[in-house]
Amino acid sequence: MFLENSKNTGRIEVICGSMFSGKTEELIRRMRRAVFANLKTAIFKPAIDVRYSDSDVVSHDAHAIRSTPVASSDDIRRMASDVEVVGIDEAQFFDEGIIDVARELAGKGIRVIVAGLDMDYLGKPFGPIPSLMAIADDVLKVHAICVRCGDLAQFSHRLSRSENLVELGEKDIYEPICRHCYNKLLEEGKL
């Protein structure tokens, strides 16, 4: 587990999992602890994520923290120069440059906390998250509960017929399911 008092040591922490697994909740918890410790913080989210708020990072259970929406990973690089802890939510929506940004910030002694989906709705590695996991000092994979059987869920099953890789939505469009239920839907041709 990470050391929260390692104030001068840069590091990369990744929180990943399916939708409804608590990724954003954990990011908010870690960022609030950093604020409580009087550390200079900044939290960023992709500008396209306006599901709950244009500017705040908001978890599915309505916990929120002030953030800065940005269009690209380079915006984070420019805006995070005078902080000790950087939070990045929904990192799967950022360009591949987010990997170098995280590495660069950690190299400058900044603690970088990244949250994002590790798999897309097809069960494939999603965006830069797998690469961020590979270079992270700490990776926490969180799980939701399968809405079909109650087991631990690691897949974000899309209920809509859209084939777009990115489709922002909530419980009206996605449900967390376990591997068994995912494979059952796959066998039935429903994925």
Tens digit of pLDDT at every position of the chain (191 positions): 444 445 567 999 999 999 999 999 999 999 999 999 999 999 999 887 645 555 555 545 656 667 788 999 999 999 997 999 999 999 999 999 999 999 999 999 999 999 999 999 999 999 999 999 999 999 999 999 999 999 999 999 988 776 765 665 556 788 999 999 999 999 998 88
Residues classed as catalytic: 90
Q: In the prediction, which pLDDT does 1 show?
A: 42
Looking at domain 11-143, its CATH class is: alpha beta
Which parts of 54-175 fold into alpha helices (H)?
Answer: 73-79, 97-107, 129-135
Long-range pairs of 70-77 with CB within 8 A, sequence gap ≥ 24: 70/44, 70/45, 70/46, 71/46, 71/47, 72/97, 73/97, 73/98, 73/100, 73/101, 74/101, 75/44, 76/44, 76/101, 76/105, 77/101, 77/104, 77/105
Contact 55, 68 (CB under 8 A): yes
Q: In the prediction, which pLDDT does 2 show?
A: 44
Q: Please state the length of the chain.
A: 191
Q: Which residues pair with 138 in a beta bridge?
A: 13
pTM, two decimal places:
0.86
Question: Coil, helix or strand for 3?
Answer: coil
Q: What are phi and psi of 72, to 5 degrees?
A: -150, 165
CA distance 125 to 164: 15
What secondary structure does DSSP assign to 48-67, as a single string? T--SS-SSSEE-TTS-EE--
Q: Tens digits of per-residue pLDDT, 158-169? A: 887 767 656 655
Q: Which of 55, 92, 50, 53 is nearest to 73 (CA)?
A: 92
